[in-house]
Structure 1
Amino acid sequence: MPKKQEPSWEHDNEAFDEKCEEWKQRDWVAWLNDNLSFPFEVRRVDDEDDAYFTDIADKEPFRLGHIFKVLKAEFDDDLCGVIVKVSEGRRRGHVPLCDVEVVEKNDSSYWPVREYAVWFANRY
């Protein structure tokens, strides 16, 4: 699959400000389900629980550093943002999309997830 080029908002403040206005109006769950190619692999790069309980990361699925598949964007939570349905082996669960990054930059889901993560980090 060909690599999608970086969007202009990654390096242009004016384009970023315009994109922020667009993001405020977006129904993220619907947009993500329309723009992501399911399933796709992600790595957990943030996990509040693992900051305090690092010994459980190796024993439980979907923890910090784990690679697993995203199956669907499920719902939007006021505190955690978009929650995605995931699978690791035969286990199924849910994690905040803002806590993961797509493993392969060439994956067609990379930029939609990156766009969401940037919006989530700058939403207030």
Structure 2
Amino acid sequence: MAYCKGDSVRVKAGVKDPDIPELEIGGWQGRVTDLTHVNDAEEPTIGLAWDSVTLKAMPEWVVINTARRGLSWAEIYLGVADIEPARPRDSECNVAAQCEKMEPRYRWLDLEPEGENIQAVVNSAKSFRERDVLVAWRRSLGAILTFPFLATVDEFQERGPLRGGDKVKVLGFCDVLDDQYGVLVRCRKGRRIYDFPLADLAADDDNSVNAEPIHDYRVWHANR
């Protein structure tokens, strides 16, 4: 059977996921996306993108398992003999919409060692809009951090009174969240008090209860 890009195909009964041997994927359906290796003499394979029906029904543990390893849960490569033609059940627009819905919930899981913690905070937000996720970070950090604590300005500062390497005492959170700078904290350096982005600070005590959540937040803020 000769396939073309965009053809709808179904996985034959009894076929196992090549990356998760305990998972049978017979009946799962998608569209052909890659024919680069279809004529390989030793192991002809075809790249598929799952359709929206398959994505909606995909067990969450499969998505998590795949995302943690940095693999795509929306696509797969299978042997040519493992698939058969099928009638399409949706449109490519449906697939794009379903992927867009799922992606934020699993985006950070492949990031080690921070990914699990970051994803938990992101998923606790009211929505995946950046402002709502920022509110979730403020709530999460507020439940964990203890004040005061000593910190170092750990990012280059183009302007402002504080410079990279400055030592400060962090006194508490500011009342506002800034769309650009994120969570703000009140700091003391000498006799002066400053409002400063938490994302630019590193806790001095690596073994403190504050160190890991601040680091996780900084990673999220830098890559959001």
Structure 2 length normalisation: TM-score?
A: 0.41
List per-residue Cα deviations over 1:14-55 (Å, max 9, x = no partner).
x826843632515222322221010111100113325xxxxx
Match of 2:172 in 1: 72
| Higher RCO (CA 8 Å, separation ≥ 6 residues) | 1
Pairing of 1:80-119 with structure 2 (within 5 A): 80-119=181-220
Q: 1:109 to 1:22 in 2, by over 3 A?
A: closer
Three-state SS of the structure 2 residue aligned to 1:11 is coil
Q: 1:32 to 1:22 in 2, by over 3 A?
A: closer
Asked if the contact 1:84/1:97 (under 8 Å) is kept, the reply is yes
Match of 2:142 in 1: 33
Could you tell me which runs of 5 or more consecutive residues in structure 2 were left unpaired when the two chains were aligned: 1-108, 126-132
Three-state SS of the structure 2 residue aligned to 1:70 is strand
Asked if the contact 2:187/2:195 (under 8 Å) is kept, the reply is yes
Name the structure where helix makes up a greater proportion of residues.
Answer: 1
List per-residue Cα deviations over 1:38-82 (Å, max 9, x = no partner).
0111100113325xxxxx8xxx4x321111111112231001111
Q: 1:90 to 1:122 in 2, by over 3 A?
A: same
Match of 1:20 in 2: 119
Asked if the contact 1:9/1:19 (under 8 Å) is kept, the reply is no
Pairing of 1:36-51 with structure 2 (within 5 A): 36-49=145-158
Cα distance in 2 between the residues matched to 1:9 and 1:89:
41
Asked if the contact 1:83/1:95 (under 8 Å) is kept, the reply is yes
Three-state SS of the structure 2 residue aligned to 1:48 is coil
Could you tell me the percent identity over the aligned residues? 29
Q: 1:18 to 1:108 in 2, by over 3 A?
A: closer
Could you tell me which runs of 5 or more consecutive residues in structure 1 were left unpaired when the two chains were aligned: 1-7, 51-55
Asked if the contact 2:199/2:221 (under 8 Å) is kept, the reply is yes
Cα distance in 2 between the residues matched to 1:16 and 1:32:
16
Cα distance in 2 between the residues matched to 1:83 and 1:44:
13
Cα distance in 1 between the residues matched to 2:206 and 2:111:
15
Letter in 2 for 1:70: V
Higher Rg of the two aligned structures: 2
**How many correspondences in the alignment?**
105
